């Protein structure tokens, strides 16, 4: 199994880029969103869940994500993880996910855990202007996640931007290359797709 990491700011186009890569490949490809591995907050009141900082690196269950990735690497299925953004709770299911040929991990802190980074064959950082990211986040959160404009702005100023400035922006140092212009950058998509195709070809023939 080949593991690709896609990291970058909220709204930088990580999910779009991951989907474009998946659609460009002629093999079994699985996208794991780091958001599905938030630490469960269901024991809190709804008000407290809303006030939780979901952009901090320690809000994710990195150990659980790593266990799932190792199981897939060993050829074992995992159960599907999920997240309910409107209610801020996990939404896992018993559905089994079989090991793919290519695993794409995407998230704002996908490069935070060096144990996970060491398992990645290729690390991609989405390098997009923060002003563009906040506009995209505004559209997404109000349209798809039931958020008000005021709550999105407040969360951005109090949580998203500080974490980006202090942590997320520095992940570019761990990346193999950076993607400009967002998730539909065709040149970057073609380059990553070609890399994966060559790696799969070499893997099948036992070439290191």
Average pLDDT over residues 118-140: 83
- Closest to 4 measured CA to CA, from 25, 146, 83: 25
H/E stretch holding 104: strand 102-107
In the chain, the domains with their CATH numbers are 2-204 (3.40.50.300)
User: CA 156 to CA 136: how far, in whole Å?
Assistant: 12
What the block records as the tokens of 75 is 């050829």
49 burial type by CB count under 10 A (0-12 exposed, 13-18 middle, 19+ buried): middle
The separation between the first and the last C-alpha atoms of the chain, rounded to the nearest angstrom, is 14
Contact (CB, 8 A) for 34 and 59: no
Cα 16 versus chain centre, distance: 10
Angstrom distances, CA of residue 144 to CA of 50, 125, 147, 169, 206: 16, 24, 8, 25, 44
Could you read off the pLDDT of 36-88 as tens digits, one per residue? 999 988 999 999 998 889 999 999 999 999 999 999 999 999 999 999 988 88
Could you read off the pLDDT of 148-169 as tens digits, one per residue? 777 777 777 778 888 889 999 9
pLDDT above 80 for 208: no
Query: In the chain, pLDDT over 70 holds for what percent of residues?
Result: 96
Contact (CB, 8 A) for 57 and 112: yes
Q: How many CB atoms lie within 10 A of CB 12?
A: 27
Cα 57 versus chain centre, distance: 12
- Residue 130: predicted pLDDT: 73
Radius of gyration of the chain (CA): 17
- Residue 105's DSSP bridge partners are 5, 32
- Residue 51: predicted pLDDT: 87
Its pTM stands at 0.89
DSSP 50: H
DSSP 60: B
Residue 38 φ/ψ, nearest 5 degrees: -60, 145
Angstrom distances, CA of residue 91 to CA of 37, 120, 126: 10, 26, 27
């Amino acid at each position: 199994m080949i593991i690709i990491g896609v990291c970058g700011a909220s709204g930088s186009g990580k999910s779009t880029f991951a989907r474009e890569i998946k659609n460009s490949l002629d093999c079994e490809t699985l996208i794991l969103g780091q958001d599905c591995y938030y630490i469960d907050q269901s024991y809190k009141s709804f008000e407290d869940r809303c006030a939780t900082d979901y952009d901090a690196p320690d809000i994710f269950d990195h150990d659980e994500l790593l266990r799932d990735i190792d199981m897939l690497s060993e050829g074992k299925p995992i159960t599907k993880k999920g997240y309910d953004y409107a209610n801020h709770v996990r939404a896992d299911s018993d559905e089994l996910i079989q090991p793919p040929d290519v695993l794409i991990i995407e998230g704002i802190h996908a490069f935070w855990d060096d144990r996970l980074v060491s398992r990645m064959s290729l690390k991609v950082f989405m390098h997009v202007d923060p002003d563009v990211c906040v506009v995209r986040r505004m559209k997404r959160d109000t349209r798809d996640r039931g958020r008000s404009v005021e709550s999105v702005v407040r969360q951005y100023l109090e949580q998203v931007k500080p974490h980006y400035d202090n942590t997320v922006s520095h992940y570019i140092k761990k990346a193999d290359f950076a993607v400009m212009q967002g998730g539909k950058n065709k040149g970057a998509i073609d380059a990553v797709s070609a890399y994966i195709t060559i790696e799969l070809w070499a893997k099948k023939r036992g070439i290191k």
